[in-house]
Amino acid sequence: MNPAHLHLVINHVPVIGTMITLFILAIGIIKKSDDVKKVAMLVLILTSVITIPVYVSGGNAEEMVEGAYEDVDESFIDSHEDFALYSFIAMDIVGAIAILSMFLYKKPKELTNSFAMIMFVLLLIVNGMMGYTSHLGGKIHHPEMRDVVLPWDKPAPTSDTGGKEKTANEKDEKTKMMTNLLLS
């Protein structure tokens, strides 16, 4: 197994792990069960620990992929790498808070619902960040995930221009006309 393959195998864990944690934590909040909330914190700690090799393996995967494939644009790698750093930091901060909570709330019935709600909101943010990081990573080697170019964005030959591309003014007029049709 090479570094790129390893990264592809384990990179789903942070996204799925935060989703599972959110689900367990929601149950703990609804049922007001400290035991369930603590299980959620343990799952979060495990997920944040696994995020470390996911992030580290990304750099090794980048070295293997850069320049090796024609359809891989370096700008996709760069945007994925940049946002992955923010996601990694956010996940590990939330993981550190979860570790701290295990020491602060040793006694039963001490993991308060207000703390759990704060963690829930933080996890929603981190899950969104992880999901977006995954989306950016998918664009690296999946051209079907890259930004779609709409038909009216492409220059089209017209009979009045002799098959030449439309000018910017003609495109603006067509956009205005389509907007007026939709709004009327």
Whether the model pTM is above 0.85 = no
For the cut 50, the answer to whether the pLDDT of residue 153 exceeds it is: no
Among the listed residues 30, 45, 129, 118, the one whose alpha carbon sits nearest the alpha carbon of residue 83: 129
Based on DSSP, count helices (H) and strands (E) in the chain, helices before strands: 6, 0
Instruction: Give the CA distances from residue 89 to residues 64, 73, 102, 129, 142, in Å, rounded to whole numbers and listed in that order.
Output: 24, 25, 20, 11, 26
pLDDT category at 152 given cuts 50, 70, 90 is very low
Instruction: Give the CA distances from residue 60 to residues 75, 101, 139, 159, 177, in Å, rounded to whole numbers and listed in that order.
Output: 17, 33, 18, 52, 50
For the cut 80, the answer to whether the pLDDT of residue 176 exceeds it is: no
Q: What is the pLDDT of residue 136?
A: 83
Query: Which residues of 22-100 form beta strands (DSSP E)?
Result: none
Q: What is the pLDDT of residue 24?
A: 97
Helix (H) or strand (E) holding 48: helix 34-65
Among the listed residues 90, 70, 86, 54, the one whose alpha carbon sits nearest the alpha carbon of residue 140: 70
Tell me the per-residue pLDDT of 22-74, one tens digit each, with 9 for 90 and over: 999 999 999 988 889 999 999 999 999 999 999 988 888 877 777 666 667 77
Contact 35, 27 (CB under 8 A): no
pLDDT category at 137 given cuts 50, 70, 90 is confident
Handedness of CA 120, 122, 124, 130 (dihedral sign): negative
Arithmetic mean of pLDDT, 96-114? 79
Rg over alpha carbons for the chain, rounded to the nearest Å, is: 23
Among the listed residues 17, 7, 4, 5, the one whose alpha carbon sits nearest the alpha carbon of residue 130: 17
